[in-house]
Amino acid sequence: MTTVHKHLDDIPLMGKKRAEDIKLKPDEEIDYSEIPPLDEDFFREAKCVKRQLKKQKRFSSR
């Protein structure tokens, strides 16, 4: 299996439409087959990562 590494700045923010679609999807329709089970070892080594949002530039209209 190939491991893909991404920097947090490379991951786009989720749009409102996509977030709403996910909220409305029943759990039974979510495919979990590629996600390995998480055991105690995983949570022992897990770290909380908080994403820093970039400040948006404001443009004034004249």
* 10-45 per-position pLDDT tens digit: 778 889 998 999 899 999 998 888 888 889 998 998
Contact, 48 vs 5, CB < 8 A? no
51 contact partners, CB below 8 Å, separation of at least 6? 8
Is this model's pTM higher than 0.85 or not?
no
HEC-encoded secondary structure of 29-42? HCCCCCCCCCCHHH
Say what the pLDDT of residue 24 is.
94
DSSP 25: S
Ramachandran region of residue 19, left (φ > 0), alpha (ψ -120 to 50) or beta? alpha
